[in-house]
């Protein structure tokens, strides 16, 4: 009985898999890496990045204001508002990472190193 049968299919998940083997090549026949298989070009990626940045700025401003108001005024210290405060903090924790998503989308690569890649994922 061959114990190695089917092992060649599992090499993708081995611990020795290099970072480059996990990258997804989405370039089409034109050779332009910003023109992916779905037909979205560079303009779409930049526009989406702008929308993400706008959402990040507005979201951080709004959630910071919620945090300030609930913490500053003692009349806002209710169970419901503490729950809203927790949601606001979770939203802030997500929104802090949106610029990294934008940079990765625009650049087409992860330029922030392996350590933050593991923390980000």
Domain range enclosing 111:
41-121
Closest by CA to 104, choosing from 62, 31, 47, 45, is: 45
- Domains in the chain: how many in total? 1
Q: What was the pLDDT predicted at 15? A: 44
Q: What are the tens digits of pLDDT across the range 22-72?
A: 444 444 455 555 555 456 788 888 899 999 999 999 999 999 999 999 999
Does 14 map to a domain? no
Q: What was the pLDDT predicted at 39? A: 61
Q: What are the tens digits of pLDDT across the range 59-115?
A: 999 999 999 999 999 999 999 999 999 999 999 999 999 999 899 888 888 899 899
Does 12 map to a domain? no
Q: How many residues does the chain have?
A: 121
Does 54 map to a domain? yes
């Amino acid at each position: 009985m061959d114990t190695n049968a089917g092992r060649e299919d599992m090499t993708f998940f081995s611990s020795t898999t290099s970072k480059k083997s996990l990258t997804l090549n989405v370039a089409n026949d034109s050779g332009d890496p910003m023109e992916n298989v779905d037909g979205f070009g560079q303009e779409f990626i930049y526009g989406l990045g702008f929308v993400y940045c706008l959402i990040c700025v507005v979201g951080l401003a709004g959630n910071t204001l919620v945090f300030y108001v609930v913490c500053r005024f003692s009349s806002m210290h209710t169970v419901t508002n503490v729950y809203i405060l927790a949601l606001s903090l979770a939203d802030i924790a997500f929104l802090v990472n949106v610029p990294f998503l934008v940079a990765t989308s625009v650049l087409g690569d992860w330029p922030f190193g392996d350590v933050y890649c593991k923390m980000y994922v």
